[in-house]
Amino acid sequence: MTVHQSGKMADFTEQRSAIKSCLKLGKNATETFQMMQQTYGENCLSRGRVFEWFKRFKDGRELVEDDTRSGRPVSASNDDQVDWVREKILADRKLTIRDLSVGYGTVQRILTKDLEMKRVCAKFVPRLLNNEQRQRRISASSEMLEAINEDATFLKRVITGDESWIHSDDPETKAQSSQWKSPTSPRPKKALMSRSATKAMIVTFFDSEGLVHKQWIPQGQKVTKDVYLDVLRALRRSIMVKRPERWRKQDFILHHYNAPAHTTIKVTEFLAKHSTPVAPHPPYSLDLVPNDFFLFP
């Protein structure tokens, strides 16, 4: 046996082949170990491993690879493993690496390298929609977009409204409480405060020109269909006073959130009676009701 790959990390399979060759050359276990040391140096198998494999080959073993053992984690990924991990993860995306009966490093490599996945936290959304609600979102959004494309004045004619909760005492934000200080003056301090438990509800309506109508809801009063009808009657009076030109032409479109009180038959009949067109609103789309942004820039 000649010396080769000296100083390199030799493959164990290659070293076992070398042990098998020494046996065929008539060497004993000790002589084989000495020759292995000369060939592989510090990368050589231990004396015990060399003697163990020498005995195996002497007893008639031909294979130089390890025997397959049940339950042993596989250290290298292959196509079958990648497909298996993909199938498991797609079936349950909350599985952890330790839940899979493959080596930790192998699963991690498959997920990050082969499948290009990463574990992320779920984000909060107002509501998880079903297929029907998603379709209604698409329909409402498409209808609005079509109306805007057909009429350049559409958005100017929209009067949008909704209810908003107002706290009687809102603590200052970090930016609002900031102040200038010199290098020698102490840093300003403020006591930790929380929002006041006392709050009131206000209903506001506005258009592109500004506020059209506002109305406070009495403490403890819920916005029912009858209360909302009173709000709509007051809104019509405000439009007549603040937007006389639009009132004269009846050139305005109502947009409100599709809350139960806003969509009852009684409210729908009232709007139809006064020929008030209503802009569609996608279901559970709180981000499309801009009242809070209008009231608190």
CATH number for 23:
1.10.10
203 plus 288 within the same structural domain: yes
- Tell me whether residue 54 is in a domain: yes
Whether 183 is in a domain gets the answer: no
286 and 140 belong to one structural domain: yes
CB 204 within 8 A of CB 291: yes
Are both 282 and 150 inside the same structural domain? Answer: yes
How many percent of the chain have pLDDT more than 90?
A: 30
| Predicted pLDDT of residue 106 | 83
pTM to 2 decimals?
0.52
Q: How far apart are CA 253 and CA 277, in angstroms?
A: 5
**Domains in the chain: how many in total?**
3
Lowest mean pLDDT among 20-29, 44-53, 95-104: 95-104
Does residue 151 share a domain with residue 262?
A: yes
- Taking the C-alpha atoms of residue 100 and residue 89, their distance in angstroms, rounded to an integer, is 9
Give per-residue pLDDT as tens, 110-127. Answer: 888 888 888 888 777 777
Helix residue spans in the chain (DSSP H): 12-24, 29-40, 47-58, 79-91, 104-109, 131-150, 154-157, 225-242, 244-249, 265-273, 291-295
Per-residue pLDDT for 190 more than 80? Answer: no
Around 115, how many Cα atoms within 13 Å sit in the side-chain half-sphere?
22
Among 32-41, 185-194, 213-222, the least confident range: 185-194
Answer for the pair 155, 290: CB distance below 8 angstroms, yes or no.
no
> What's the whole-number mean pLDDT along residues 15-20?
90
- Considering the domain architecture, whether residues 144 and 209 belong to the same structural domain is answered as yes
State the pLDDT at residue 105. 81
**Average pLDDT estimate for 25-39:** 90
Q: Are residues 284 and 137 in the same domain?
A: yes
- Same domain as 256, residue 202: yes
Q: What is the pLDDT of residues 230-264, one digit of tens each?
A: 999 999 999 999 999 999 999 999 999 888 899 99
What is the model's pLDDT at position 197? 59
Q: Which domain holds residue 149?
A: 131-169+196-295
Comparing CA positions, the residue from 236, 245, 222, 223 lying closest to residue 270 is 236
Q: 104-108, 214-218, 263-267: which has the minimum mean pLDDT?
A: 104-108
User: Which DSSP symbol is given to 242?
Assistant: H
Cβ atoms 131, 163 nearer than 8 A: no
| Same-domain status, 235 and 92 | no
Together in a domain, 151 and 38 = no
Q: Are residues 108 and 17 in the same domain?
A: no
Q: Are 27 and 1 in contact (CB under 8 A)?
A: no
User: In this structure, are 259 and 138 located in the same domain?
Assistant: yes
Q: Is there a domain that residue 231 lies in? A: yes
